[in-house]
Amino acid sequence: MGSEHVVQGGFPMKANAGNATILALGKAFPHQLVMQDFLVDGYFKDTNSDDPELKQKLARLCKTTTVKTRYVVMSEEILEEYPELTTEGTPTIKQRLHICNEAVTKMAIEASQACIKKWGRPTSDITHLVYVSSSEARLPGGDLYLAKGLGLSPQTKRVMLYFSGCSGGVAGVRVAKDIAENNPGSRVLLATSETTIIGYKPPSANRPYDLVGVALFGDGAGAMMIGSDPELVSENPLFELHTALQEFLPGTEKTIDGRVTEEGISFKLERELPQIIEDHIEGFCGRLMGVVGYDNKEYNKMFWAVHPGGPAILNRMEKRLDLSPEKLNASRRALADYGNASSNTIVYVLEYIIEESKKMKKEGEGDGEWGMILAFGPGVTFEGILARKLAV
Q: Write the CATH number of the domain with boundaries 20-228.
A: 3.40.47.10
Q: Are strands 381-389 and 239-248 parallel, antiparallel or unpaired?
A: antiparallel
- pLDDT 10s digits, 22-46: 999 999 999 999 999 999 999 999 9
Q: What's the CA gap between 93 and 264, in Å, rounded?
A: 5
Answer whether 20-228 and 239-358+367-389 agree in fold.
yes
Name the active-site residue from 62, 100, 166, 285.
166
Contact 108, 221 (CB under 8 A): yes
Mean pLDDT (the chain, rounded): 93
Using the Cα atoms of residue 238, residue 243, residue 249 and residue 254 in order, give the sign of their dihedral. Answer: positive
What pLDDT is stored for residue 208 in this prediction? 83
Q: Write the CATH number of the domain with boundaries 239-358+367-389.
A: 3.40.47.10
Q: Are strands 188-194 and 128-133 parallel, antiparallel or unpaired?
A: parallel
Percentage of the residues of the chain whose pLDDT score is greater than 70: 95
Which of 360, 384, 236, 334 is closest to 27 using CA atoms? 334
What pLDDT is stored for residue 392 in this prediction? 67
Q: Got the DSSP string for 310-351?
A: -HHHHHHHHHHTT--GGGGHHHHHHHHHH-B-GGGHHHHHHH
Residue 364: pLDDT band with limits 50, 70, 90: low
What pLDDT is stored for residue 255 in this prediction? 94
Residue 14 has pLDDT above 90, yes or no: no
Which of 40, 138, 107, 42 is closest to 341 using CA atoms? 107
What pLDDT is stored for residue 8 in this prediction? 34
Would you call 166 a catalytic residue per the annotation?
Answer: yes
**What's the pTM?**
0.94
Percentage of the residues of the chain whose pLDDT score is greater than 90: 84
> Beta partners for 194?
220
- pLDDT 10s digits, 260-317: 899 998 888 899 999 999 999 999 999 999 888 887 778 999 999 999 999 999 999 9
Q: What's the CA gap between 273 and 67, in Å, rounded?
A: 19
Question: What are the residue boundaries of the structural domains of the chain, listed by start?
Answer: 20-228, 239-358+367-389
What pLDDT is stored for residue 207 in this prediction? 86
Q: What's the CA gap between 268 and 371, in Å, rounded?
A: 31
In the chain, count of helices (H) and strands (E)?
11, 13
Residue 55 has pLDDT above 90, yes or no: yes
Among the ranges 39-53, 145-159, 364-378, which has the highest mean pLDDT value?
145-159
